[in-house]
Amino acid sequence: MKHELPCELIRDLFPSYIDNLTSDVTNELLEAHVKECNKCREILGRMQDTTEEIIRFEEKTEIDFLRKTKKINQKKIWGSILGTFVFIITVYYLATYVIGYTTAHDNIKCEVVSAEGRKLVVSAECRNPEYVISSASFRWIPNDDEVEVTFKTVKSSPLYEEKREFSYMAPAEFEEVCVGGRLQPTIWFEGSKISMEAGELFDVRNPYIGQAFANSLIADALEITERFGVFANELQTSEEPYGWTIKLQEEVPEENRAEKEVEMRLCGFLMLASVENAGVVSFEYKSEGKEYSVTVTEKEASEYMGRDIKECYSDAILMQELLEKTELKFEHKGSRVRAKKVLSSAYEKEILRQLKEYE
In SS3 terms, the chain reads as: CCCCCCHHHHHHHHHHHHCCCCCHHHHHHHHHHHHHCHHHHHHHHHHHHHHHHHHHHHHHHHHHHHHHHHHHHHHHHHHHHHHHHHHHHHHHHHHHHHHCEECCHHHEEEEEEEEECCEEEEEEEECCCCEEEEEEEEEEEHHHCEEEEEEEEEECCCCCCCEEEEEEECCCCCCEEEECCCCCCEEEECCEECCHHHHHHHHCCECCCCCHHHHHHHHHHCCHHHHHCCEEEEEECCCCCEEEEEEECCCCCHHHHHHHHHHHHHHHHHHHHHECCEEEEEEEEEECCEEEEEEEEHHHHHHHHCCCHHHHHHCHHHHHHHHHHHCCCCCCCCCCCCHHHCCCHHHHHHHHHHHHHHC
Which is more confidently placed, 272 or 155?
272
330 in the same domain as 231: yes
- Give me the helix-helix angle, 345-358 and 212-221, nearest 10°: 110
pLDDT tens per residue across span 162-174: 899 999 999 999 9
- pTM for the model: 0.60
Do 169 and 211 share a structural domain?
no
pLDDT tens per residue across span 45-97: 887 777 666 667 666 677 767 777 777 877 788 888 888 888 888 887 787 88
Mean pLDDT of 155-168: 89
Q: How far apart are CA 272 and CA 298, in angstroms?
A: 7
Instruction: Tally the domains of the chain.
Output: 3
Res 13: pLDDT: 82
Residues 218 and 173 in one domain: no
2 vs 47, more confident? 47
| Close Cβ partners of 249 (under 8 Å, ≥ 6 residues apart) | 229, 230, 231, 232
Burial call 244-273: b when 16+ CB within 10 Å, e when fewer: bbbebeeebeeeebeebbebbbbbbbbbbb
d(CA 324, CA 9): 118
198 falls within a domain: no
Q: Taking residues 113-135, report their average pLDDT.
A: 90
| Range(s) of the domain holding residue 139 | 102-193
Q: According to the model, what pLDDT value does residue 249 have? A: 93
Check residue 106 and give its pLDDT.
74
Q: Please state the rounded mean pLDDT for residues 97-107.
A: 82
pLDDT single digits (tens) 240-249:
999 999 999 9
Q: State whether 56 and 108 are in the same domain.
A: no
Instruction: State how beta strands 186-189 and 146-155 pair.
Output: unpaired
28: in domain: yes
CA dihedral angle for residue 236, residue 239, residue 241, residue 244, rounded to 10 degrees: 10
CB 174 within 8 A of CB 146: yes
Residues 6+ positions from 302 with CB-CB distance below 8 Å = 308, 309, 310
Does residue 118 lie in a domain region? yes
The answer to whether residue 296 sits within a structural domain is: yes
Same domain (yes/no): 185, 305: no
Average pLDDT, rounded, for the chain: 84
Partners of residue 136 on adjacent β-strands: 151
Does some domain include residue 277? yes
Same domain, 13 and 57: yes
* Residue 331 belongs to a domain: yes
Q: Cα 343 to the chain's mean position, in Å? A: 16
Q: Does residue 244 share a domain with residue 135?
A: no
Q: Are 121 and 167 in contact (CB under 8 A)?
A: yes
Residue 253 has pLDDT above 80, yes or no: yes
pLDDT at 299: 96
144 and 106 assigned to the same domain: yes
Last residue in a domain, options 155, 171, 193: 193
Domain membership of residue 114 (yes or no) is yes
Q: Is 288's pLDDT higher than 60? A: yes
Specify whether 346 is located in the same domain as 209. Answer: yes
Assess whether pLDDT exceeds 60 at residue 351.
Answer: no
Q: Give the whole-angstrom CA distance, residue 267 versus residue 222.
A: 7
| Same domain for 138 and 38 | no
**pLDDT band per the 50, 70, 90 thresholds, residue 188:** confident
| Domain termination residue (choose one: 83, 99, 115) | 99
Asked whether residue 282 carries a pLDDT value surpassing 60, the answer given is: yes
Specify whether 81 is located in the same domain as 119. no
Of 99, 117, 140, which closes a domain?
99
Statement: residue 182 has pLDDT above 70 = no
Backbone φ, ψ for residue 244 (5° rounding) = -130, 120
Give the mean model confidence (pLDDT) for residues 293-319.
94
Co-location of 35 and 58 in the same domain: yes
